[in-house]
Structure 1
Amino acid sequence: MLTAFACDKKSEEPAKPTPPAATPSAPAPQPSKAEAVPASTPTATQSAAPVNPALLKPEAAKEKAPEKFKVKFTTTKGDFVVEATRAWAPIGADRFYNLVKLGFFTDIGFFRVVPDFVVQFGIHGNPEVAAAWRTAQLQDDPTSKQSNEKGTLTFAKGGPNSRTTQMFINYKNNDRLDKMGFPPFAKVISGTEVIDAINKEYGEQPQQPTVQSEGNAYLKREFPRLDYIKSATIVTK
């Protein structure tokens, strides 16, 4: 949702961050309307893999996160670790903690990769799960003292109080996002080379409405070399 971080007023779905326009004086990133689409119902052509029932009940995912915790992401390019700091964005950090504990980040595509800007992910590969979380919007956190510097992890959104599950990692210092309501909640502490190696060939081609409605079936059919998060786990040692 780093496109312009504002969404169509007709929808409360978070918008993705957008890179600056290729002009001498590029304006601040504008919200993408791609995310501003209604949740759709899975079709008969989509995967019928069993779903963890807890993933369909976002309203129950209310556990408070530790003040600091680490998460290991295993991806198709290797592993990286982030450290979350709850004080930076308490509401966002709590959501992230609960998503990880529920196993949300399993087979999750990096569907938006913009060099020198961000890599974005967080739409679940199962349309039923994706639909359940699209309305589980969070209240905004206060502006954080932590800037959107290179390697920070931040929730995407499409307007006030619209964060759900989509997030992005900053490829560079994007401090212009700080005053736009995008407080980071974690930072990559190891494996930055893995993030840099994520396949960029598809850029912003994957259509978010279709990712929402068809899930990984669409991504794997149309973008066969896309990279994925295999799993994310709380680091206990």
Structure 2
Amino acid sequence: MKKTIIIASLIALSCGKSTFNPKWMDEKAPQTFQARFETSQGDFEIEFSRDLSPKAVDRVYQQINHKFYDRIVFYRVVPNFVAQFGHMDSTATANNWDRYKVEDEPVKGSNLKGVISYARAGQNSRGNHLFINLKDNKRLDTVFYNKVKGFPPLGKVYKGMDVVEKLYSGYGNDTMNVYDLLAVNRKAFLKKFPKLDSIKRAYIIK
């Protein structure tokens, strides 16, 4: 019964997204800003800095402002590596956020413990998935992936890193073996991985 309740709650989290508006792309982030993430394990807070990756920080500012990361799961938590989350719902990304690519930028910071960066799959592919480093991952600063060098940091968890470290990590990389299932059949994905933690909402701290 408990598993059923958890799954039902997570499925309900997918409802209520904002309708996309291209004008959001004109919004510029402050030089630095803080955001709070309320999760199933508690809250954590991140400070973002445009000095690190201005185009990407503008994008995450836009996304947080417009509830992009509300009601989603941490679909990949690998102990001693990263906690990753983002949007697999094509109705929230295809033909809207995905149309506005975040251009590649140089790596100015380092992927140390608590630092947050966009995941990416190649050139100009950042924008829908974030990861928080669970340890110092300096190799991510210089590694080449599909002809692109490194993962530029955007900011760092300054409060609640203990919450990030409590996110359920028992599935490790197993979730990535059926990664596409989250996009095409969220219910089946959550039934297969019922212990995943979630973000209830994320918002800018005024």
Shorter-chain TM range is: 0.7 to 0.9
Q: CA deviation at 1:51?
A: 4.0
Distance in 1 (CA, whole Å) between partners of 2:73 and 2:22 is: 20
Distance change in 2, residues 1:58/1:150 (3 Å): farther
The normalised TM-score by structure 2 is: 0.83
Distance change in 2, residues 1:235/1:49 (3 Å): closer
- Judge conservation of contact 1:69–1:83 (CA < 8 Å) in 2: yes
2:194 maps to which of 206, 212, 224: 224
Other structure's SS at 2:38 match:
strand
2:173 matched residue in structure 1? 204
Distance change in 2, residues 1:129/1:58 (3 Å): farther
Distance in 1 (CA, whole Å) between partners of 2:86 and 2:204 is: 17
CA deviation digits over 1:191-236, x for unaligned, max 9? 0110000001111222221212234x23322211110011001011
Residue 64 of structure 2 is aligned to residue 83 of structure 1? no
Q: CA deviation at 1:160?
A: 1.4
Unpaired stretches in structure 1, ≥5 consecutive residues? 1-45
Other structure's SS at 2:180 match:
helix
Which structure's residues are more often helix, by fraction?
2
Distance in 2 (CA, whole Å) between partners of 1:159 and 1:82 is: 25
Amino acid at match of 2:54: P
Distance in 1 (CA, whole Å) between partners of 2:121 and 2:90 is: 20
Distance in 1 (CA, whole Å) between partners of 2:139 and 2:76 is: 20
Which structure's residues are more often strand, by fraction?
2
1:184 maps to which of 142, 149, 153: 153
Moved more, 78-87 or 126-135: 126-135
2:92 maps to which of 102, 122, 129: 129
1:22 matched residue in structure 2? none
Residue 125 of structure 2 is aligned to residue 162 of structure 1? yes
What is the aligned-residue identity percentage?
A: 37
Q: CA deviation at 1:50?
A: 4.9
Unpaired stretches in structure 2, ≥5 consecutive residues? 1-10, 143-148
The normalised TM-score by structure 1 is: 0.73
Residue 67 of structure 2 is aligned to residue 103 of structure 1? yes
Distance change in 2, residues 1:107/1:61 (3 Å): same
The count of aligned residue pairs is 186
Distance in 1 (CA, whole Å) between partners of 2:36 and 2:17 is: 22
Q: CA deviation at 1:71?
A: 0.3
Q: Which runs of 4+ in 1 moved over 6 A?
A: none
- Judge conservation of contact 1:82–1:186 (CA < 8 Å) in 2: yes
C-alpha RMSD of the superposition: 2.0
Q: CA deviation at 1:92?
A: 0.9
CA deviation digits over 1:21-58, x for unaligned, max 9? xxxxxxxxxxxxxxxxxxxxxxxxx989454212xx45
Distance in 1 (CA, whole Å) between partners of 2:184 and 2:94 is: 8
